[in-house]
Amino acid sequence: MYFLLFYDIFISTNISGSEKTKEMGRRKAKNKIKNWIISLIVLIFLGATGYYGIDYIDSSRAKITSSLSIENSNLIDFNNDKLNIMFFYVGQADSTFIKLNDFTMLIDAGNNEDGTKIVEFLKEKGVNELDYLVATHADEDHIGGIDDIIKEIDSIGELFIPTIGSSGNDYKNAIKEANDKGVVIENPVRGDTFYLGDAKCEIMSALEDEDVSDNDSSIVIEMTYNKTSYLFMGDAGKKVESSRQWNRVDVLKVGHHGSNSSSTDDFLKQVKPQYSVIEVGKNNSYNLPNSKAISRLESAGSKILRTDKADGENPGSFLFTSDGNTIDIKEISITLDGNS
């Protein structure tokens, strides 16, 4: 608007009062230019607000930044007053550690060979207690290391585990260790809530029907910390995704390692994640993540982070740190794959 004011002054001081016709012509020209400038400003505004397909400016969403990578794991410090979420590279498996102040949770513990490596890392960082240990479902690449976690970590508050898949050896090993140590065992259901410090956690799905697969029995958790939100899908697929309405989140832990059976268009239109993390093994025999799933995530406008290519080429882990309003992401060049 200051530009228009200066333009008015410039035009008015250069008009000859004795040439009425020329003055009218100049006024018309001035009005045309002014209208053109106003139209340009309107077009820029509409573009910024998404009218022409560009994301609109939404102050309600968390600001996410990506800073320098960390090559030395000794520089990682969980002893702060922020929410820390670390997506581990455990090969073709899942494991995610969460800490807020003195409250801790581990979601899955990778394959059988990964459990001891996860324990070593946590103890190195001074983590000897877990308030919550979540075995999302009974597949070995999620529950395999749970028994080692229970055995080696000094104290476990509660073990969340579904009822589906209870006949498997890995499931039985986890239950045995929990019983031996006196850990409280919970079979959560949809709608249950609990708190990790000031972060609210809600069970979004935990299907128990007889015809439900192990993957779709996954315990799905949405975590909300002030303005930031996170959704941990386990291996849940289309059946779970279509079973309810979903909230918009900032960060999505992609279901089933980026399989084509997960991350459907309808689901992604609801959650609209700013970032999507895929925990997946390098050169895995399943050819995951699936290219169609990747395309759907990209079409949803989500930035994809893969543990098999954390730096664009090599495996690694990701550390998300949040004060509840902003999120900072670091790539960590460590792996906890017991099979490597």
CB 98 within 8 A of CB 277: no
Q: How many CB atoms lie within 10 A of CB 125?
A: 18
Q: 28 Cβ partners below 8 Å, 6+ apart? A: none
pLDDT of 48-85, one tens digit each? 443 333 334 466 789 999 877 877 778 898 988 999 99
Query: Out of 27-31, 291-295, 314-318, which region has the weakest mean confidence (pLDDT)?
Result: 27-31
Q: Residue 169: pLDDT band by 50, 70, 90 thresholds? A: very high
Section 287-300 average pLDDT: 98
- Alpha-carbon dihedral 159, 164, 170, 174, rounded to 10 degrees: 20
Per-residue pLDDT tens over the stretch 123-134: 999 999 999 999
C-alpha span between 275 and 144 (Å, rounded): 27
pLDDT per residue as tens digits for the range 94-150: 999 999 999 999 999 999 999 999 999 999 999 999 999 999 999 999 999 999 999
pLDDT, residue 192, reads 98
HEC string of 197-222? CCEEEEEEECCCCCCCCCHHHCCEEE
Helix, strand, coil content of the chain in percent (nearest 5): 30, 25, 45
| Whether the predicted pLDDT of 315 surpasses 60 | yes
Q: Where are the beta strands (DSSP E) in 19-82?
A: 63-66
60 vs 255, higher pLDDT: 255
pLDDT of 5 reads 39
Q: What is the mean pLDDT of residues 279-289?
A: 97
Three-class SS of residue 301? coil
Provide the mean pLDDT of the chain: 88
| Phi, psi at 49, each rounded to 5° | -95, 10
Residue 58 burial (CB count, 10 A)? 9
Which of 161, 142, 271 has its CA nearest to residue 219? 161
Residue 3 has pLDDT above 90, yes or no: no
